[in-house]
Structures are given as C-alpha cells and as structure tokens.
Amino acid sequence: MTTHEIADGELQFSTDRSRLDVAAIHRFISDESYWTPGIARELVERAIAHSLCFGAYASGAQIGFARVVTDYVGFAYLADVFVIREWRGVGVGRRLMDFVFAHPQLQNMRRFLLATRDAHALYARYGFTPLSSPKHFMERYDADALSPARRAGPAPGRDCVPPTGPGGRRAARSFRNARIVPSLGECEVEQDPGMTGGAAGVARHARLVRVTLPLDRTVSKPIDFASVS
C-alpha cells in the first residue's frame, strides 16, 4: 500500500509503518492509556501489524499515534489515538485526525466507528455523532480481555483446586459461572438454575492456590479440573 506523508512545520505525519517507534507506542498505551493499561507489547505489535497506522513525529520522534482497522470498503474503526503529554493542546491531535480522515483509502466509508471517554469534541469535527440507531447495534464487550492478568489466565488444575466430594465435583462441572475471588482466596460459583445449593456452597470453599484473575472477573470458559479431582 502506498505510504502517505505530510510535513507541517516541525511536525510530520506518516503512514509508514517502518517509522513507528513501537516501544514508545507500547509504553504510552500500556502505561498511560485508560483503555488497555498493562497491555503486552506483543499484542500492540500484532494490532499495529494488522492496522492502517498513522504516526505523528516531531524531529523524527514519535509524539502521536492512531490506527484504523478497516476493510477499505465500507467499515473502519479508529483506535489507540494519542498525543504524548508534552505535545498536547497545540493542535497535534487535530492535525493527526485531519491526516487520518484525508487518507484516500478511507473515503466514502459507510460506517466509521470509534469509542471515546471524553474526546467527543475532537471527533465531532469530522462528522462523528452518537450512534444514529443504537438499538440496531450490539457489542460483545470484555473490558479487560487484554489485561496481563487475563492473558496469563488461570492454569487449569493448578490455580484453583476444587473441593472434593460429590457437591464439589458437581460445582466443578458447572464451572461456567465461577468467579475467583483473590481477596478471599476462594472460588465462588454462582447459583445456576440447574445447580443445587449444596454444590454452590461446597464450591465456595474451594482452595485457591494461585490468584490470576481480578476480583470481579467472571470466567467465561469452563476450567478443566480433570487433572485434580
């Protein structure tokens, strides 16, 4: 794909992937972003490799970044937009967005999406509005899917040792709704309609050997306890 670049005084904006300072981008997203704190460098690298990336530079140093995930036909999603603290408030973000939305292969997009906590005003300049038909949209959102703790994941049969006895084994089989509660050192199992109170009660006393998940994280896949019971 053709590389696009513009110079604007001491600033440069480029889609040249080879110019990206991946260490600096990872550092910002991991240490300073509110969306994926702690994200592993390998995941940032993978995202960069599969996105159309836009860098902002001052004297060759990375001061801003944005990426677009797109099919180059009708859909695009803007992500990981940032300007480093030292350069904020002087128009870099706006010029970076000018550069993104002027990209020849992002014209006539049927749907361009983004999510932002507080920079709506910045994107409103480019025609972004709240969803026009929110009831037509669905999402599957997992806020900390990329967190280091989640990526480490519980090691089956080691992190959480299920209770023995018929109740515990039943709970382990119904482990879809289990929560690991680090502060209590326990596995807590929600009461499924098909699960007896006894099973839930016994499972609550499961012994936790190593904590790997946040307090309120619901385990979405059954944990295989076969190797322990």
- Binding ligand COA (rule: CB under 6 A), the pick from 47, 52, 53, 83 is 83
Helix (H, G, I), strand (E, B) or coil at 154: coil
Q: How far is the CB of 68 from ligand COA (least distance, A)?
A: 13
Of 165, 66, 60, 175, which is closest to residue 112 (Cα–Cα)? 66
Residue 140 has a CB neighbour count (10 Å cut-off) of 5
Helix (H, G, I), strand (E, B) or coil at 78: strand
Residue 144 has a CB neighbour count (10 Å cut-off) of 16
Helix (H, G, I), strand (E, B) or coil at 44: helix
- Scanning 16-24, 80-88, 165-173, 183-191 for contacts with ligand COA by CB under 6 A, the matching segment is 80-88
Alpha helix locations (H) across the chain?
A: 22-31, 41-49, 92-101, 120-124, 148-152, 166-173, 197-203
Map residues 153-182 to x or -, x wherever contact with ligand COA holds by CB under 6 A.
Answer: ------------------------------
- Binding ligand COA (rule: CB under 6 A), the pick from 23, 61, 90, 143 is 90
- Scanning 3-11, 87-95, 131-139, 209-217 for contacts with ligand COA by CB under 6 A, the matching segment is 87-95
Q: How far is the CB of 27 from ligand COA (least distance, A)?
A: 13
- Binding ligand COA (rule: CB under 6 A), the pick from 60, 89, 104, 130 is 89
| Residue 82 touches ligand COA, criterion: CB under 6 A | yes
Give the nearest residue (CB) to ligand COA.
93
The residues, any chain, with a CB within 8 Å of residue 61's CB and separated by 6 or more, are 21, 24
Greatest Cα pair distance, the chain, in angstroms, is 73
Identity (one letter) of the amino acid at 107? Q
Residue 55 has a CB neighbour count (10 Å cut-off) of 24
Q: How far is the CB of 26 from ligand COA (least distance, A)?
A: 15
Pairwise CA distance, residues 197 & 11, whole Å = 64
Block residue for tokens 């014209």: 107
| Residue 100 touches ligand COA, criterion: CB under 6 A | no
Site for ligand COA in 110-139 (CB under 6 A): 116, 118-119, 121-122
Among residues 79 and 209, whose Cβ is nearest to ligand COA? 79
Length of the chain: 229
| Residue 68 touches ligand COA, criterion: CB under 6 A | no
| Residue 81 touches ligand COA, criterion: CB under 6 A | yes
Among residues 34 and 137, whose Cβ is nearest to ligand COA? 34
Block residue for tokens 């009461």: 191
Q: How far is the CB of 129 from ligand COA (least distance, A)?
A: 15
Binding site for ligand COA (CB under 6 A): 81-83, 88-94, 116, 118-119, 121-122
